[in-house]
Amino acid sequence: MILYGASGHAKVVLDICLKNGESIRYVLDDNKEIKSLLGHPVVDQFTSEMLVDDELIISIGSNTIRKKIVNRLSVEFGKAIHPSSIIDTTVSIGGGTVVMANAVINSSTIVSKHCIINTSASVDHDCFIDNFVHVSPQATLCGGVHVGEGTHIGAGAVILPNVTLGKWCIIGAGSVVLKDVEDGSTIVGNPGIKI
């Protein structure tokens, strides 16, 4: 496995990979100041040949940056799923996605590519999560929620059943979203309002 990005988020992804018995071939990062990540050397100069034989996970928390990097690369993307997560057998998870400790993803949910389902997040049945979404720690998506590309759902937020969140939205930490949200919106509070 190769990780692209040596941030704090990368430490968690690295831990998940190791818990799953994956060996980390490279940790890549453009920042020449970073020399190692939890004892793994970080490479700042790399070529496309280095990316040929292994699956890669972009281990960067920013949805926007993950998308920019994906658009530059033509490689095979892996997944990192923590062994303590609970994922129904009918769930589909796309390449590049990370599911962290104690996350729950229930029946008939689709999690697309390059998403983050963070620590203790709960995604209920029949949800659709588009590419580059981040569901933060302890956020709750009730049944039938649709999340548009690039949306960030803050820690502890609650999205009520059958709500649609547009693309590239920000849902503030602790917010409770009762109704559909337009693309590019920022929602905060309980009940959630657009700001």
Residue 48's CB: how many other CB atoms inside 10 A?
A: 10
Is the same domain home to 46 and 85?
no
Is the same domain home to 176 and 123?
yes
Does the residue 104 lie in any domain? Answer: yes
Amino acid 51: pLDDT: 67
Does the residue 194 lie in any domain? Answer: no
Domains in the chain, number: 2
Q: Which of 47, 111, 40 is nearest to 81 (CA)?
A: 111
* R_g of the chain, CA atoms, integer Å: 17
CA distance 147 to 168: 9
CATH number at residue 91: 2.160.10.10
Does the residue 123 lie in any domain? Answer: yes
Low-confidence ranges of the chain (pLDDT < 50): none
Element (H, E) at 176: strand 176-177
- Domain boundary at 72, 91, 111, which? 72
- 54-82 per-position pLDDT tens digit: 889 999 999 999 999 999 888 889 999 99
Does the residue 191 lie in any domain? Answer: no
| Active-site entry in 9, 114, 125, 146 | 125
- 6-15 per-position pLDDT tens digit: 989 999 999 9
Bond into 191 cis (ω within 30): yes
Residue range of the domain that includes 102: 80-186
Amino acid 26: pLDDT: 85
Is the same domain home to 158 and 180?
yes
Is the same domain home to 163 and 104?
yes
- Domain boundary at 72, 88, 123, which? 72
Amino acid 48: pLDDT: 66
CATH number at residue 34: 3.40.50.20
For the stretch 152-187, what's the b/e string if a residue is b when 16 or more beta carbons lie within 10 angstroms of its beta carbon? bbbbbbbbbeebbbbbbbbbbebbbbeeebeeebeb
CA distance 103 to 113: 17
* 134 is known as an active-site residue: no
- Domain boundary at 72, 104, 128, which? 72
CA distance 93 to 151: 17
Is the same domain home to 49 and 132?
no
Amino acid 100: pLDDT: 98
